[in-house]
Amino acid sequence: MSTLESMMKKDTNLYMNKKYLIITAAHLDSSRNEDYENSIKSIMSFYQKFDRIFLLECVSKKMDELEYLNKYPIEIVISDFQNHYENYGINEFLHINLFLKKQTYIKEDDTIVKITGRYLMKNDNLLKRIPLNNERILAKLDGDIWDKYTGNNNFGVHTFYFAFKKIEMSHFISYLFKTKLIESTKNIEWILKDYIISNIENSSFYDGEMGVETNFKCNGLKVIT
């Protein structure tokens, strides 16, 4: 192999290591601002682990409502997708997919980490597993929380924090349309689990602590998983 070919191969390998964080947000009104800001503050401890960090706003179309976050080194993007579906989880995934399609510099094999914007990043346990290599989607079964409170025996995977190759989001959205699950009211967590098992070769689930603190103000439940 020539020196030039070696350099080109090295550059390609370096690019394959790109990793991006998407923080999803839904600014219905200013009542969530403190939650979002606390989440971003917690993420700043791990800022250097990502090539770029985006906050993807999925409800508000007014950039001035997000100006309070301009002091943080993140890129704020207002999604072009309208929330067409009754299923909030499906809408969120469609927001992410459309955003990723528009970012042509993000390659299909780049690693994307998604965190819902009202959760706190407490450690880098899951982050130590990225960039993804053989895994196409890295997600954890949700029984670690819900078994204790609802008797849910791993019906789904946590979608508030997981990692995936860019191309897999596109594949998953295509799967939703093909199977007509795009119109489903079934939890997106359950749909994604079924997809991983049936469509990802040699699929497995992350079994460690993810390192995020949940924030369910509606029932006072706070758990680090």
For the full predicted model, state whether its pTM sits above 0.85: yes
223: tokens are 């758990």
Domain ranges of the chain: 3-213
Question: Which whole number is the average pLDDT over 134-154?
Answer: 78
Nearest to 91 by CA among 116, 64, 118, 120: 116
User: Looking at residues 151-174, what average pLDDT do you find?
Assistant: 90
Find the mean pLDDT for residues 113-120.
94
Per residue in 35-47, pLDDT (tens digit) is 999 999 999 999 9
- Binned at pLDDT 50, 70 and 90, residue 220 comes out as low
Determine contact, residues 138/129, Cβ cutoff 8 Å. Answer: yes
CA distance 5 to 89: 44
Answer for the pair 140, 225: CB distance below 8 angstroms, yes or no: yes
Q: How confident is the model at residue 131 (pLDDT cuts 50, 70, 90)?
A: confident
pLDDT at 91: 97
Does 146 have pLDDT greater than 90? no
Average pLDDT score over residue span 211-217:
73
How far is the C-alpha of 143 from the C-alpha of 117, rounded, in Å?
22
Orientation angle between helical segments 88-102 and 188-199, nearest 10 degrees: 60
Residues 162 and 136 sit within 8 Å (Cβ to Cβ):
no
Phi then psi dihedrals of residue 85, to 5 deg: -105, 155
* Residue 7, pLDDT above cutoff 70: no
* Residue 48 pLDDT greater than 90, yes or no: yes
Yes or no: domain 3-213 corresponds to CATH 3.90.550.10: yes
Q: What token pair was written down for 134?
A: 């053989």
Q: Given a cut of 70, is residue 133 above it in pLDDT?
A: yes
How many residues in the chain?
Answer: 225
Cβ within 8 Å of residue 101, ≥6 positions away: 170
Q: What confidence score (pLDDT) does residue 216 get?
A: 54
Across the chain, the runs of DSSP E, i.e. the strands, are 19-25, 52-57, 75-78, 111-116, 120-121, 137-138, 161-165, 212-213
22 near 99, Cβ under 8 Å?
A: yes
Q: What are phi and psi of 22, to 5 degrees?
A: -115, 120
Nearest Cα to 72, choosing from 46, 97, 111, 104?
Answer: 46
Sign of the C-alpha dihedral, residues 70, 72, 75, 79? negative
